[in-house]
């Protein structure tokens, strides 16, 4: 990677390569023919998280009661230490206001990205509001993980780097500004469609490399799968989230992949009734709008 384009290497990709190495080594030791049962992974992650919580004096019953509201994908994608950190904060959070957690990677060499966790009562447009706030601060989203609880909470985790592709850092002023920006933007979600329409668009200019999209309904779940391949650009996820909002499309999950100057993102989406998209005209309009708007670059960035 560094040999072909040294500029694309950053601390987030370093953490991904370390994770790939570690998990590959474990798979080879176990034997590739010995697959792991998904439920075993969920239970192992829970047990490790409980150990971390016990060390902090958190009651196991309270944790398990909270987790009963969480779906398995949360335990499959999040690490035990992150789950313990988030669980402790949720249990201490006695308010209807959004819970926003921010922390830098704990590795002494700053390997990874700044992690932002958002826990809020289920309302629309949480993803696009958070992505917009991050874009306005010049932060680059490296990964986004979206979950929903059984009782209707939205849980979003973002991994971000600054304009120099480094973690944000633990400077109190920066973290306070980031927390306030997210809080202020999330206060607007109830009327976010109107808020976005009132904002004055910046002058745009045509982007050189065209965006490509594909869309199909998943055979294994009740979602539509949208793939977007595009040159990376500031505010890309905020733009896509705004298009979803304007067309009445609900984002259920996402897999974000930034590969140098190109992104290959997969979005799992539904209509307003949490059903796959079945209207071919809507699917076509969604793809056309994404391609058109992502192929416009803010003129000051050219």
- pLDDT of res. 11: 73
- pLDDT of res. 249: 94
What tens digit of pLDDT does each residue of 5-24 get?
A: 666 777 777 777 887 888 88
- pLDDT of res. 7: 67
- Helix axis angle for 172-186 and 126-136, nearest 10°, is 140
Distance CA 39, CA 194 (A): 43
Distance CA 285, CA 294 (A): 14
What tens-digit pLDDT sequence spans the chain (302 residues)?
A: 677 666 677 777 777 788 788 888 877 887 777 777 788 889 999 999 999 999 999 999 999 999 999 999 999 989 999 999 999 999 999 888 899 999 987 654 456 889 999 999 877 788 989 999 998 898 988 888 888 889 889 999 999 988 888 888 878 888 899 999 999 999 888 777 676 666 645 544 555 568 999 999 987 788 999 999 998 877 889 899 999 999 999 998 888 877 667 788 999 999 988 899 999 999 999 999 999 988 875 444 43
What tens digit of pLDDT does each residue of 62-106 get?
A: 999 999 999 999 999 899 999 999 999 999 998 888 999 999 876
Structural domains in the chain, sorted by start? 203-302 (3.30.70.260)
- pLDDT of res. 300: 40
194 dihedral zone (left: phi>0; alpha: psi -120 to 50; beta): alpha
Closest Cα partner for 167 from 249, 103, 75?
A: 103
- Helix axis angle for 38-55 and 60-67, nearest 10°, is 140
């Amino acid at each position: 990677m560094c040999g072909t384009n040294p500029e694309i290497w950053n601390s987030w990709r370093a953490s991904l390569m370390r994770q790939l190495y570690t998990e590959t080594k474990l798979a080879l030791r176990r034997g590739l023919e010995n697959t792991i049962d998904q439920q075993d992974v969920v239970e192992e992650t829970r047990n490790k998280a409980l150990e971390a919580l016990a060390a902090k004096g958190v009651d196991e019953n309270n944790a398990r009661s909270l987790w009963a509201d969480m779906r398995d994908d949360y335990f499959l994608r999040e690490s035990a230490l992150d789950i313990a950190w988030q669980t402790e904060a949720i249990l201490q959070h006695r308010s209807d206001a959004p819970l926003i957690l921010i922390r830098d990677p704990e590795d002494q060499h700053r390997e990874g990205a700044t992690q932002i966790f958002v826990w809020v009562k289920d309302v629309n447009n949480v993803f696009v509001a958070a992505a917009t706030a991050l874009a306005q601060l010049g932060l680059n989203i490296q990964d986004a993980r979206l979950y929903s609880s059984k009782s209707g909470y939205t849980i979003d985790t973002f991994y971000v780097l600054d304009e120099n592709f480094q973690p944000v850092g633990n400077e109190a002023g920066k973290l306070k500004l980031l927390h306030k920006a997210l809080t202020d933007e999330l206060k607007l979600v109830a009327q976010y469609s109107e808020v976005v329409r009132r904002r004055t668009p910046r002058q745009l200019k045509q982007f050189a490399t065209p965006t490509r999209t594909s869309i199909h309904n998943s055979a294994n779940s009740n979602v539509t799968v949208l793939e977007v391949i595009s040159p990376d650009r500031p505010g890309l996820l905020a733009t896509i989230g705004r298009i979803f909002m304007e067309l009445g499309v609900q984002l259920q999950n996402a897999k974000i992949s930034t590969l140098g100057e190109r992104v290959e993102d997969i979005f799992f989406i539904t209509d307003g009734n949490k059903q796959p998209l079945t209207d071919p005209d809507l699917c076509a309009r969604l793809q056309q709008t994404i391609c058109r708007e992502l192929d416009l670059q803010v003129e000051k960035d050219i």
